[in-house]
Structure 1
Amino acid sequence: MQFTTPLKHNSVKIMLLGSGELGKEVAIEAQRLGIEVIAVDRYPNAPAHLVANESYVIDMKDKSQVLETILRVKPTYILPEIEAINIEALFEAEALGFTVIPNAEAVNKTMNRKNIRKFAAEELGLKTSGYRFVKTLDELKEAAEHIGFPCVIKPVMSSSGHGQSVARTYEDIENSFEIAKEARGDASELIIEEFIDFDYEITLLTARNEKETVFCEPIGHIQKDGDYIFSWQPMEMSETAKKRAQEIAKKITDGLGGRGIFGVELFIKGDEVYFSEVSPRPHDTGMVTMITQSQSEFALHVRAVLGLPLGFRFYGGGASAAYKAKSESFNPVFDIEEECFAEDSYIRIFGKPESHKGRRMAVVLTFGEAQEALKRAKTLIEKIKDRDYRETVEEKAAQEENEESNIFRKIANILLGK
């Protein structure tokens, strides 16, 4: 394969539709191979904007804005990095000859829990929990009685576990309905799932480039309100369960097709494996691969997109801990103790322009035997603090005043011919 230089007429271009912390790492890996990166998101100064060659701020759900940006940039590859994208724009771009990763239909299936569950369970015959789809509170109550308690209730469309809850009794149903309703956005349906009393859940990162498929070591994780807070690799599991997990991951990724890395989420009960969900992009729990593998999930994603060999070395166990802001800030500032910079650990600050309570702002990575690394990550994440809201409101006012002064100074210099 030929490699090019950014900002030339023949540059290979990757457009990221979604420029958060995962997109930022993809951008860095792409630029290491001389690829021009164009980062797109709904707000300015998103993490990947800070390292890209070019950036755009658009309404990602607006078909015309997405298409207009694609036609202006003419990317070699389009990488959707979030769920909240106008899918019609991706289908139209593909029809015009652009390459969507992994492909527009795979994005369409995976962005909607109804689409992917029906595809996995009914078309591919994968083992899943029992499920039903509902639209109204009355339908939800009826479905819950059929599924049984406890049961899991989610919007068919949401990201990072938003709107997900467990109804343990009939009395919890109305509250779960309201939680899902707030998060479901344009989606009118909910999915209600049988609660599987699983032993643990894993993410099996699966990379494919239409020539080969490779699996990373299984990743264990702990979630809170459907959002990841800790992950570790490898997750200890039986060889039988691991083999079945790989079989399911290959079947779902082969079914979706295309190139790239997929985060396949699975429930494990003894040696039994149940399919849960799949994301056709790097997975947040997979940030641990930045310390455990010779090629992180982000490097594998770029290699798969380019059709390059997918071999890598697993260095050894490790863990990650997500840091979530404790307060709101217009100018995030973190106090981090020196212990976080030990030789067996990294910290990655995402560079998000604002924080709010619960927003993921950084990650701690630790190397070592998985459970020991996890224990260390849990300790280190407590060594990070962020400033409170009132202090940063004052900082924002001072920053705006300083920016205004700089503008007037520049205008004056232009008028004076300086």
Structure 2
Amino acid sequence: MFQSKKILLLGSGELGKEVIIEAQRLGVETIAVDRYEHAPAMQVAHRSYVVDMMDPKEVRRIVENEEPDLIVPEIEAIATAELIQLEKEGFRVIPNARAAQLTMDREGIRRFAAETLQLPTANYEFADTYEEFVQAVHEIGFPCVVKPIMSSSGKGQSVCRTEAEIKESWSLAMEGGRVQKGRVIVEEFIPFDSEITLLTVRAVDGTKFCAPIGHKQKDGDYIESWQPHDMSEEQIREAKRIAQAITDGLDGYGLFGVELFLSKDKVYFSEVSPRPHDTGLVTLVTQNLSEFALHVRAILGFPIPEITFTTPGASRPLKAAEEHSDYTIDGVEQALGVPETQIRVFGKPVATPGRRVAVVLSSSDTVEKARVNAELALDRLKVK
């Protein structure tokens, strides 16, 4: 017998919107929270709140008012110390408050992966000041990757290739960080062949994996993903070993997006998100259960059946080129004319440069055809 649950979603973007939809299909009461009005998940939730989720008093106020069965973080910028306290008081955080705090910033999860779990990662240094940053860059060497310890969609990320680019990389990191703007991570540049997301599900009946998702990034944000990504058996085994280790270390139920770099002779851990992943939007057309359906089933305590890969597919996000307070998306009819192609319009109230406002999803009998179709459909869309 299944008794209906109440889910409080902290962060209400396009990924949260799909989580809410899947939860409601199972009769779950849903509450969406974000820092701005009319966020995508708010448009489909039963109720919503607009608050600063970094304010512990506001987070507590909503949790105590709603008394949810599950608190489900969808973004990193949340008052995680308050989630830890709420968990001690009996509220359930997904996958748990420790995992939410550990993955909130790149320092916590990188140290956990590399130093505690001894997983293969790029060499790294952290810096709080510009002077420390210059020293860290010289210790790591050129080229190196610079990121704020906390940001989203690649904001503030850059590759520093020469001495002349050091100041610009620092400035970009300062502008892109969501909180704790003074701290950055400087990473060794790994000459990888490709990068993947291995969606990993922890549920009551064990850990399961989706087919690997290949993706391309620009300025740290994904611009294309496809499934499956071609990998050797040895690479798949090592990728699963790393994903199992990091998700077991974080513990709890739910779907995790484990990002990995692939080179010819090694698999490197990059990052992990304890929630559905943007590159995993492609699973809406490639699997019997999307990453969102898997996440909801797992957090509700249901077993996960065999994850069936049904067809190759690709995704291409549509991004705004400039700011629009009132925008339209032209070319939808033409884009939908591309074979086996769907579009998800997120419904974000404001478009800003580089912000995702929709995604193209294409399937075909090969990954190559799906990628071509997704690109063709994207070329027919324009934000105005």
With the shorter chain as reference, the TM-score category is over 0.9
Alpha carbons of structure 1 residues 239 and 327: separation in structure 2 relative to 1, 3 Å: same
Instruction: Give secondary structure in 2 for the equivalent of 1:67.
Output: helix
Measure the CA separation in 1 of the matches of 2:48 and 2:256.
25
CA distance in 2, matches of 1:224, 1:82: 20
* Aligned counterparts of 1:210 and 1:169: Cα–Cα separation in 2: 49
1:376 correspondence with 2:373: yes
| Corresponding residue number in structure 2 for 1:344 | 340
Find the aligned partners of 1:196 and 1:325 in 2 and give their Cα distance: 30
Overall identity of the aligned pairs, in %: 54
1:210 touches 1:258 (CA, 8 Å); kept in 2?
no
Q: Matches of 1:3 and 1:297 in 2, distance apart? A: 23
Alignment of 1:144 with 2:137, yes or no, is yes
Bigger shift: 242-251 or 203-212? 203-212
1:337 CA drift (Å): 4.3
Match of 2:61 among 60, 68, 93: 68
Displacement after TM superposition at 1:339 (Å): 3.5
Instruction: Tell me the secondary structure at the aligned position of residue 126 of structure 2.
Output: strand
- AA aligned to 1:365 is L
| 1:153 aligns to 2:158 (yes or no) | no
Alpha-carbon displacement from aligned partner over 1:88-144 (angstroms, at most 9, x marks no partner): 221121011010000010011111111111100010010001111111222222222
State the Cα deviation string for residues 124-166 of structure 1 (Å, max 9, x = none): 0100011111112222222222211100011111112111100
1:193-231 deviations in Å (ceiling 9; x for gaps): 100000000000001024311111111111111011110
- The ranges of structure 1 where at least 4 consecutive aligned residues each deviate by more than 6 angstroms after the TM superposition are none
Instruction: Report what 1:323 is aligned to.
Output: 318
Which amino acid letter does the alignment assign opposite residue 228 of structure 2? P
CA contact (8 A) 1:238 1:271 kept: no
Q: 2:230 aligns with which of 228, 233, 236?
A: 236
Q: Confirm or deny: 8 A CA contact 1:132 1:192 kept in the other structure.
A: yes
Match of 1:29 in 2: 22
Which of 112, 115, 118 is equivalent to 2:108? 115
- Supply the distance in 2 between the matched residues of 1:337 and 1:363 (Cα, whole angstroms): 11
1:278 and 2:272 aligned = yes
The structural deviation recorded for 1:331 is 2.2
* SS of corresponding position for 1:220: strand
Q: Which residue of 1 aligns with 2:328?
A: 333
CA contact (8 A) 1:3 1:33 kept: no
Distance 2:217 2:119 in 1: 24
CA contact (8 A) 2:201 2:295 kept: yes
Q: 1:330: how far off?
A: 2.1
Identify if the C-alpha distance between structure 1 residues 193 and 50 changes in structure 2 by more than 3 Å, giving closer, same or farther: same
Native 8 Å contact 1:205 1:215 kept in 2 = yes
Question: Which amino acid in structure 1 is aligned with residue 283 of structure 2?
Answer: T
Whether the 8 Å CA contact 1:124–1:252 is kept in 2: the answer is yes
2:335/2:376 contact within 8 Å kept: no
Q: Is the 8 A contact 2:324 2:352 kept in 1?
A: yes
**Considering only CA atoms, is the larger Rg found in Structure 1 or Structure 2?**
1
Within 5 Å, give how 1:179-328 maps onto structure 2: 179-187=172-180, 188-311=182-305, 312-328=307-323
Mapped to 2, the partners of 1:326 and 1:153 lie a distance apart of 24
SS of structure 2 residue aligned to 1:163? coil
In the alignment, which of 44, 53, 70 is matched to residue 51 of structure 1? 44
Q: What runs of 5+ residues in structure 1 fail to find an aligned partner?
A: 5-11, 388-418
- In the alignment, residue 29 of structure 1 is paired with which amino acid? E
- Native 8 Å contact 1:317 1:370 kept in 2: yes
2:2 is aligned with 1:2? yes
CA shift for structure 1 position 270: 1.1
Structure 1 range deviating more: 299-308 or 333-342? 333-342
Q: Distance in 2 between matches of 1:28 and 1:337?
A: 22
SS in 2 for 1:99: coil
Q: TM-score, normalised by structure 1?
A: 0.89
Q: Could you tell me whether the CA contact under 8 Å between 1:324 and 1:359 is conserved in 2?
A: yes
Note the C-alpha offset of 1:308. 1.1
1:172 aligns with 2:162: no
Q: Distance in 2 between matches of 1:313 and 1:154?
A: 36
Measured in 2, the distance between the counterparts of 1:174 and 1:357 equals 23
Q: What count of residue pairs does the alignment treat as equivalent? A: 380
- Cα-to-partner distance string for 1:377-404 (whole Å, 9 max, x where unaligned): 11110111122xxxxxxxxxxxxxxxxx
Contact 2:254 2:295 in 1 (8 A): yes
Supply the AA of the counterpart residue of 2:126. Answer: F
User: 1:236-269: per-residue Cα shift (whole Å, max 9, x none)?
Assistant: 1111001100010000000000011000000000
